[in-house]
Chain A
Amino acid sequence: MSSSTLSEGRKQFIVDGVTQDCRADGRRCIDFRRFQIETGIVSNTNGSARLRQYGTDVLVGIKAEIGQPKQERSNTGHLEFYVDCSSYNTTEIDGHIGDFTTQLTKSLERIYDSENVLDLKSLTIIAGEQVWVLYIDAVVLECCGNLLDCISIAVKAALYNTRIPGVSVNDEEGVLELEISDDPNDEKKLSIDKVPVIVSCNKIGHRYVVDATQEEECCSSGRLLIAVNDRNNICSLQKSGTGSLDPSTIFEMIETARQAAVPLNQELLQTLKREERSNNDKCGFFAN
């Protein structure tokens, strides 16, 4: 889109549209846009996924490496996140691209903060010394609003697609030596049933919308990011945006997000399973 700031007239048109429950592209306030997801399209990663929605294109790659555990959680593996959106540098975030990247990376980290999201204990090789470290990097190719939802879905798909090679530890006379086996059938998979997905609600006028486009985000006064996992638990909440929210609206938003996330999570799981079984040839980047 060309200029970042919308004129007053266009903002008013969008706000009126939301109050009449008919948004600029015809959707109702609680409708999602369709997205396509593919996994396993980047070869030298342990797991990868690409998510394409109209105007938004995110690619997530996960590489597992052996490293030292963190000091305070010595007997579990840990995750390192980074969101790189240098290629999508439209006018409104130029200049402070650093803050935008930090915001996205930290929001992602917050979801995976509690230990029981991913089974990190299975990532330990030698407790206290050698653990698997999962480097989860997201590359934003194109964005038309609702970026964090797309990234969180893509990360969940990539985790589902992750294969961690088995490691055998043999210690000749006290020297620990790790040997990574590369035959495919003793690889470990990660269980993602407790991994949450972000649903963000934008407050526009007196109502709020789900899955907002870029223009709608320009005229939203406040945004609540709600991470919901398959067991309908709220894994993290974050209010962002420059306005303030009424406590009652916050509770409403949490309720809508929880209801909206149920079909989202189920559909995602089914497509991932279907894609894994069929494992037809990946069209990758050629499908437009």
Chain B
Amino acid sequence: MTIFHSCRGHGTYLQDNKLKASVAGFVEKVGKLICVKPVKSRYNGEVGDVVVGIITEVGQRRWKVDTYSRLDSLLMLSAVNLPGGELRRRSEKDELMMRQHLTEGDLISAEVQSVHGDGSLALHTRSLKYGKLIQGTLVTVAPALIKRCKTHFHNLECGASIILGNNGYIWISPLLKEDAENQTTKSDTSTLEREIVARLRNCIMALAERQMLLYDTSITYTYEASLNYQVSQHKK
């Protein structure tokens, strides 16, 4: 591909003025920009993406969050709603209370606030729908399989709520009780709800294995298709 009328995007490199692909994937041409989008790769986030992350380290006024991207993302203490919901400057006491709020291994849903120079993401959870995830299971799929759509929080009518993180982490949990605004109390899920969550988990894994695009309608159709099998007979 001669160089003079196009410019280089992601996934390509220049060699004796010929543009060559450096990853295996689909070529995307936007105006003069040519880039190659790999099929299976780590998540490189854009501002505004909804992601599900796992806290890996509690540091000085910030948490390190694993979002299946090349570098761990950062969640600043200033980018989090304080437990009481008050809005004030973060004092030193908050710093010491960080571990009470979020510790290693905790799961959070967050939004990408900005992308740093080296590609690592800054997250924020400053809205009521984001925060700590308590009751439910996590499924990891390739980030490319998650279809970008308007909302990534779905309450499926089969009785479970799903968060499709753009970074390939999908959180399935029983329907949030209306009153528990953010679920800190330990609500006991009934067996029926638990079976729905398990069935959903198996459906998503089956879809992901066949490299099918994941969005709420594709998942609901698979769920209905799986209804005539007993949950415990699933392949997984």
**B-binding residues in A (CB < 8 A):** 1-3, 5-10, 12-13, 16-17, 20-28, 31, 33-34, 54
Contacts and interface: CB of A to CB of B under 8 A. Distances in A.
A23 B201 CA distance: 11
Given A10-B138, A24-B198, A34 B235 contact: yes
A7 B104 CA distance: 7
Interface in B51-102: 54-56, 66, 68
A21 B232 CA distance: 11
Contacts of B195: 22, 26
Nearest to A21: B191
Secondary structure at chain A's binding surface: helix, strand, loop or mixed? loop
A13 B55 CA distance: 18
Nearest to B189: A16
A115 B81 CA distance: 65
A22 B231 contact: yes
B141 interface: no
Interface string B122-164: 0000000000111111101000000000000000000000000
Contacts of A23: 198
Given A5-B105, A7-B105, A22 B191 contact: yes
A76 B235 CA distance: 43
Contacts of A10: 105, 107, 136-138
A185 to B, nearest CB: 40
Nearest to A213: B236
A12 to B, nearest CB: 6
A22 B232 CA distance: 8
Contact of A31 (B133, B199, B232, B235): B232
Interface of B: 54-56, 66, 68, 103-107, 132-138, 140, 186, 188-191, 194-195, 197-199, 201-202, 231-232, 234-236
A31 B233 CA distance: 9
Contacts, number: 79
Contact of B140 (A2, A22, A26, A54): A2
A21 B132 CA distance: 26
Contacts of B138: 10
B68 A22 contact: no
A3 B134 CA distance: 16
Secondary structure at chain B's binding surface: helix, strand, loop or mixed? mixed
Given A26-B198, A26-B234, 7 more contacts: A5-B104, A7-B106, A9-B133, A13-B135, A20-B190, A22-B195, A34-B235
22 contacts: A1-B140, A2-B54, A2-B68, A3-B104, A3-B105, A7-B55, A7-B106, A9-B106, A9-B186, A10-B105, A12-B135, A13-B136, A16-B189, A17-B194, A20-B191, A21-B191, A24-B198, A25-B201, A25-B236, A26-B232, A33-B236, A54-B235
A2 B189 contact: no
Contacts of B189: 13, 16
Contacts of A20: 190-191, 194
B132 to A, nearest CB: 8
Nearest to A3: B54
Contacts of A8: 105
Contacts of A28: 232
Contact of A27 (B133, B191, B232): B232
Of the listed residues A1, A8, A9, the one surrounded by the most CB atoms of chain B closer than 10 A to its CB is: A9
A21 B191 CA distance: 8
B107 A25 contact: no
Nearest to A2: B66
Contacts of A17: 194, 198
Of the listed residues A13, A17, A26, the one surrounded by the most CB atoms of chain B closer than 10 A to its CB is: A26
Contacts of A3: 54, 56, 66, 104-105
A1 to B, nearest CB: 7
Contact of B234 (A2, A5, A6, A25): A25
B68 to A, nearest CB: 7
Of the listed residues A7, A10, A13, A21, the one surrounded by the most CB atoms of chain B closer than 10 A to its CB is: A7
A13 B132 CA distance: 14
B106 A54 contact: no
B109 to A, nearest CB: 13
Contacts of B186: 9, 12
Contacts of B103: 7
B191 A13 contact: no
B188 A16 contact: yes
